[in-house]
Structure formats: structure tokens, C-alpha cells
């Protein structure tokens, strides 16, 4: 995962500078500047720590979640709506970032096979 991909994922998931600070020990104000694109070229160590944070967050995201029958039905309906409106959703920043991250994760899985 690149630094840029990490930043996209962190923004997509809505992690705050405070959360990243708590988990990594990085300076909260510095992280906020990085997330808000106020730092043109963060230090190598900072980039590595942020990549590590995002990688760990993705791994935690992949944990299995058990759904009740009602939740499963709701998720199926939602998935159907997303599929029907995929092209429109790609015009929104949040969905397009999420879709890009998920697509890249799938490419990596395929390449590993």
C-alpha cells in the first residue's frame, strides 16, 4: 500500500487525527496537517507509520461480522440499491474513494494467487 492509498483509505473510513495519534504516537496536529494536505512531503517515518496504521485498519475491517436475518435482508436490499445506482454513486467522492480502495485490494488478492 502506498502512502497516498493509505491517506485515501483513512479519509474514506473517517479516522480522525486524534485516533491516529492515539494508535501511533504521531503528533495529532502533525497528522491533521497531513490529512488536510498542508504538508507537501511528510517525513519518511511519518509516511511509514501512516501506511502501517491504514494496513492494520484494513485487516481489522476484514474481520467477519455475523448478521441477523433482519440485518442480512437489509444489507441485501442496500446492496441491490448500490448496484442499481453504481454509476451515479461513482460521482460522489466518498463512494469513488471507497470503490477505488476496494478495487485495488481485489487486484492485490488476484496477483497473490
- Rounded CA-CA distance 39/49 in Å is 15
74 and 50, same domain (yes or no): no
Domain around 99: 69-112
- Rounded CA-CA distance 36/55 in Å is 20
Q: What is the pLDDT of residue 95?
A: 92
54 and 74, same domain (yes or no): no
Q: Is the separation of the CB atoms in 90 and 48 below 8 Å? A: no
89 and 45, same domain (yes or no): no
- Rounded CA-CA distance 54/72 in Å is 28
For the chain, counts of helices (H) and of strands (E) = 7, 0
Average pLDDT for residues 87-94, to the nearest whole number?
93
Q: What is the pLDDT of residue 62?
A: 67
- 29-79: pLDDT as tens digits: 999 999 999 998 999 999 999 999 999 998 887 665 667 788 888 989 999
Return phi, psi of residue 67, to 5°: -110, 145
20 and 57, same domain (yes or no): yes
53 and 75, same domain (yes or no): no
Q: Is the separation of the CB atoms in 83 and 75 below 8 Å? A: no
56 and 84, same domain (yes or no): no
DSSP state of 110: H
Residues of the chain with pLDDT > 90, as a percent, come to: 70
Amino acid at each position: 500500500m502506498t502512502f497516498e492509498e493509505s491517506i485515501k483509505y483513512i479519509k474514506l473510513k473517517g479516522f480522525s487525527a486524534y485516533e491516529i495519534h492515539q494508535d501511533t504516537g504521531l503528533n495529532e496536529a502533525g497528522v491533521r496537517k497531513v490529512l488536510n494536505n498542508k504538508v507537501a512531503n511528510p517525513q519518511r517515518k511519518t509516511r511509514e507509520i501512516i501506511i502501517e496504521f491504514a494496513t492494520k485498519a484494513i485487516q481489522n475491517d476484514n474481520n467477519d461480522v455475523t448478521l441477523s436475518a433482519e440485518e442480512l435482508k437489509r444489507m441485501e436490499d442496500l446492496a441491490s440499491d448500490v448496484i442499481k445506482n453504481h454509476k451515479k454513486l461513482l460521482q460522489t467522492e466518498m463512494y469513488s474513494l471507497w470503490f477505488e480502495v476496494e478495487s485495488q485490494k481485489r487486484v492485490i488478492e488476484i496477483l497473490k494467487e
